[in-house]
Amino acid sequence: MQHIRFTLALLFLAAPASGQVREPDAVANALIEELQSPFCPGLNLTSCPSPQAAELRDEVRSRIIGGESVEELSADLVRRFGQGVLGRPTWSGFDILAWITPGVLLLLATALLVRRLRRHQPVAARANPAAGPISPEQRERLQSALDALE
């Protein structure tokens, strides 16, 4: 989910609506909100309380205000801190598994569930698997036995 948010933020930052140019400070704040902190695992750069994160926030803000593009800055941060700073896997190499695995697992679980539901039998059929439709002779014997009880 986070990779979708980051991608949407990059698209939003790269192509402002109605041809308006967004203020660099707003662009920097949006990017800082989406970046993962390399100093506080599991937190975004905005939430990380470490002094190094504060320095990185200031650096991102000053570089965006200085005119550097989001793509250039993101590429530099990936070079320095690794792909994890973007909070999303790439579309190359081993990272493709991070994109494909959830869908494959969902399809596999669905197939297993359908298979199990198709094999499910009512309780009466499980109790006597040999039971089936009765023949006319059996029906006649059953009826005579019921008549004898009356």
Three-state SS at 95: helix
Instruction: State pTM to two decimals.
Output: 0.51
> pLDDT tens digits for 86-138?
887 677 777 788 788 999 999 999 999 988 888 876 655 555 656 667 888 98
> pLDDT tens digits for 18-62?
444 568 888 989 999 999 999 998 899 999 999 999 999 999 999
User: Residue 120 and residue 140: Cα distance in Å, rounded?
Assistant: 32
